[in-house]
Amino acid sequence: MNPFNPAFGDVPKIFLDRSKQINTVIKGLEEPISPYQITFVYDLRGSGKTTFLSDISNQMSKKITGL
């Protein structure tokens, strides 16, 4: 049984903790000179790319709005 489905951005039943990678990218985006200003995220279909980027977007939005 394949745990991945094309429910773009949804957290799958089996989810790897990527908080370290997410925090690294967020810190890099917040710095004026950083290699993360232009970032390519690629991997196999269903590996969590959209979820990864959604998590980054949500966390950055919370920092900006203060929620």
Q: Which residues contact 47 (CB under 8 A, 6 or more apart)?
A: 4
Q: The tokens of 40 are what?
A: 């390519």
Q: Say what the pLDDT of residue 44 is.
A: 87
pLDDT higher than threshold 90 for residue 66: no
- Could you read off the pLDDT of 16-35 as tens digits, one per residue? 788 999 999 999 888 888 87
Q: What is the pLDDT confidence band of residue 57, given thresholds at 50, 70 and 90?
A: very high
pLDDT higher than threshold 70 for residue 13: no
Q: Say what the pLDDT of residue 5 is.
A: 58
Rounded distance, CA 6 to CA 55, Å? 17
